[in-house]
Structure 1
């Protein structure tokens, strides 16, 4: 038998009985897999250079699916959709390991929901594979989740719609009344209004960590935060207007992961969807609040913004908040027409506050109004929605009598 015939026979045999099949995009990953296979003495293996489509074509020809399947997501524009197609040619018993280049928590969680056993980030090493694949037991090691905080993004349909006002006062309420620890990240690299509303100065901490990602660890990151009080911390920057701003979004993802390990909530004030950090914010956010006023322009922008956020792999839960940042009462789009235009009902609408908000923002304080339908009560409703709590109501007369008798 010639060498070519032997190789062809060996390849056909591998296609029939391989227990470990891998399709990877580069030679370095292929070599790491081959070293792992040799060290673990795995007898039935098929490793090839290829993508998800190549894996689908290969598996569709097999009589039985492998025990392990590793597939490289390099070059995949829609990884969740591609893995959905892959699942159609795999038996349910296949243990799938996805391989990628992004350290993306949102994508990782979405993949687990699809049934993927684990998601590994390149560069692939033999040690990483040994921690992931238990050859002796024939299983992928169970992924354990550490308890982490939630990243919450706030974005507006236009400037001045009240994103920072709502997000910042929600953070204040959560830290002051529910004792949560909140990290407030102002993504306006030119300097947002959060610091002036809090009465603090920016130390350019956000810019510092983005430029020194190689030094990034929990202790270093904590030193860059500006404390408003014991539970509310701010990460921001104020770059000169004539400075050239270039950032790598993947470094910001690492910043968010570290913050989520230390805080109950990480609030992301997205000043503009075209901000270079906005994509990373939406990709890692557990929840996104889109703030809009009742104008035709905002309705159109709201539709675009919702489509932009919900079309991402992370697909976070989104809610629309309506705000009235000025006293104009004529010419607004009616609530029902606005809901029809954007295809959903707003979670809540904030009414115009004539004086209390402006005074509070200038003094760096919380608003002092106490009206039943005022701004502070609206913040409480949003906080209850975010934390899953039931809004507290005024005790009834019978409950008050019961308290008096105790």
Structure 2
């Protein structure tokens, strides 16, 4: 260990000489006759020091004061400091340990015993440093692996979301809806949810929950893929039997969500299932399929329901033309499209400008794309 040094701090030259003889074969030995000189050496050589042997009784700065000074810089946590004293009392020994000493060697000392105790302290510190380094290395490796897994999880989540959105878009195309319907539903849900989070903390909404609900809201009508075209695309009023079949899209949607379980994590699956089944429930209990009432309806289903009703009103459908946003607002507030909670309606009031802006923006995009498509066909 010639690359390591031991510092002996003692005002008595003879004591320094005796200790130097003990360790000179294994270590470079450095000497200081007082505490101030020791501080200079430690500042310059601390990375090379294997141990510090410190006499207590010294002029200028005694061993206790020097130990306190070293503790301020956390030196005893990195380098074992062994106190050398002729005071064999328990109080003196306790004081050494309280101030950070690794061990205490009593004068007069046996050279073999002193060497053994110093070497044991050095080995313990080196072993601890080795373990700390292993923990640090393993933590670094685990952190790197975690980041890789997290990125893989994010990519998988993005892929799954695209698959789900594609499936839902196919349903909307079959329903003669444009892809903007899903875009608006998700946008309306996000706007309403953020408004609810800011104004009604009792809903327990968080940014993470809002993200899950927003993405899951795209699944609300997936069950319509099971509804026959003759009913789904009927321009007139549905008969009672036809309406029963149409209403089944909620429960059939739940069956499809279960089949997609491998593409979704548990939380997303549960919210998607809830939205599919309950987005037609009404606050007064007159919705379907379960006739839920009041707060029996989850916040996710309430948000999706209001977003779906609003988009249905402001959009062209096979059975009606689009209402203006202001007319749609009045119809929802007046209960013409089902009853919503006062809190949901209050959120709707606050979010109205942002939702109307989204309607205008998406309809402009839709018209521009349609015009571009028509122009393309004319040029062929």
| TM-score, normalization by structure 1 | 0.27
Structure of greater relative contact order (alpha carbons < 8 Å, 6+ residues apart): 1
Larger radius of gyration: 2
- Structure 1 or 2: larger strand share? 1
- Structure 1 or 2: larger helix share? 2
